[in-house]
Amino acid sequence: MFTSLEGKTVIVTGASKGIGRGIALRFGAAGLNVLVVSRTLADAEKVAAEIGPNASAFAADVSSPEDSEAMAAAALERYGRIDVLCANAGIFPAARLGQMTAADFDHVIGVNLKGTFLSVSAVLPAMKAAKKGRIVLTSSITGPITGYPGWTHYGASKAGQMGFMRTAAIELAPWNITVNAVMPGNILTEGLEGAGPEYMAAMTASIPMRKLGSVADIANAALFFASEEAGYITGQGMVIDGGQVLPESIGALEEMDKA
Ligand code: NAP
């Protein structure tokens, strides 16, 4: 049995939809106070209402230093503490090299990577004062391990988060603050459903477990990193992908199907 996290406070960025919503619901069910953050207040409010009285919404753009500071201030004002940050907000527009503009590149890096840095920076004063904290980044398999056409900027941002994480974990260890990352494979979200049935079928076929992940699969891993019991784990990534990155070739999956 894991130690209860009831009464602690978590900030979840990008929590109005998809994986972030799943993380917010899971942490809320575990009894934490949840600050549900996205740029669109009305969407964040819906998720906070779903969680219950231990949650509230806040509108912030994680690529803005001012918004990030305001987000941390709101958590402190409402709940008096910040125990956990789930830096999850991310965007994944596609553009091939040759068409990708400098502005496209800056936008993705600005939200996914600079946004991670800004969210972490904003919660540090509270975590350092408490001499304790848990930071969980949402990276991806795409970038750190795999690639996908159209996502050079996205892959760079997600691999960048892992580089950021390793040095942050060393810098923050003296304050008993851990920094880890969940690395999702293909997770069934509203966004992915929009990619169409063909994309979904091709993705499913490439996964040894032959199913897409759920947001709960990622939320459970994030909750583990936030637990007391994970206190000696820092600077690590956890791949949650149903085995997607494992086959060395399509032949490996064909061989698997012969079983
Ligand atoms: P999603 O369904 O598109 O949700 C993205 C969330 O982030 C929304 O709440 C959105 O709300 C918020 N957001 C976007 N830009 C923001 C900004 N600048 N500031 C604050 N919030 C912002 O995305 P998802 O699929 O759940 O992905 C979430 C994270 O998981 C991302 O970091 C992504 O890279 C990672 N990931 C996803 C998958 C997957 O299969 N879905 C796989 C690997 C990794 P607003 O637009 O209202 O701000």
**Is the model's pLDDT at 75 over the cut of 80?**
yes
| Residue among 47, 45, 49 nearest 59 (CA) | 45
* HEC string for 108-160: HHHHHHHHHHHHHHHHHHHHHHHCCEEEEEECCCECCCECCCCCHHHHHHHHH
> Which amino acid residue places its CA nearest to atom 5 of ligand 1?
14
Q: 143, 154 in Cβ contact below 8 A? A: yes
pLDDT band for position 139 (cuts 50, 70, 90):
very high
Which atom of ligand 1 is nearest the CA belonging to 187?
40
What is the tens place of the pLDDT at every residue in 176-234?
A: 999 999 999 999 998 777 778 898 899 999 999 999 999 999 999 999 999 999 999 99
SS3 category, 104: helix
Residues of 115-147 as b/e, b for ≥16 C-beta within 10 angstroms? bbbbbbebbbebbeeeeebbbbbbbbbbbbbee
Which of ligand 1's atoms lies nearest the C-alpha of 215? 26
Output the CA 251–ligand 1 centroid distance in Å: 33
Query: Which of ligand 1's atoms lies nearest the C-alpha of 15?
Result: 9
Active site residue 154: yes
Q: Please state, as a whole number, how many other Cβ atoms lie within 10 Å of the Cβ of residue 37.
A: 32
Q: Which domains does the chain have, with CATH numbers?
A: 9-196+213-243 (3.40.50.720)
Determine which residue's CA is closest to atom 17 belonging to ligand 1.
61
Per-residue confidence at 22, pLDDT binned at 50, 70, 90? very high
Out of 79, 148, 154, 199, pick the active-site residue.
154
Q: Is 194 touching ligand 1 by the criterion CB < 6 Å?
A: no
1 CA from centroid of ligand 1 (Å): 31
Residue of 43, 85, 92 to mutate, ligand 1, most atoms within 8 A of C-beta: 92
Query: CA 151, CA 159: separation in Å to the nearest integer?
Result: 12
Give the pLDDT of residue 1: 79
Q: What is the pLDDT of residue 126?
A: 98
For residue 21, give the ligand 1 atom closest to its CA.
Answer: 9
* CA 114 to ligand 1 center in whole angstroms: 14
pLDDT tens digit sequence for 227-259: 999 999 999 999 999 999 999 999 999 999 998
- Burial of residue 190 (number of CB atoms within 10 Å: 0-12, 13-18, 19+): exposed
CA torsion angle for 171, 176, 179, 182 (degrees, to 10)? 170
Minimal-distance CA residue to ligand 1 atom 6: 14
By residue count, the chain amounts to 259
Give yes or no for residue 191 CB within 6 A of ligand 1. Answer: yes
Whole-prediction pTM: 0.98
Residue 81 C-alpha to ligand 1 middle, in angstroms?
Answer: 25
The per-residue pLDDT for range 24-69, each reduced to its tens digit, is 999 999 999 999 999 999 999 999 999 999 999 999 999 999 999 9
Cross-strand pairs, 162: none
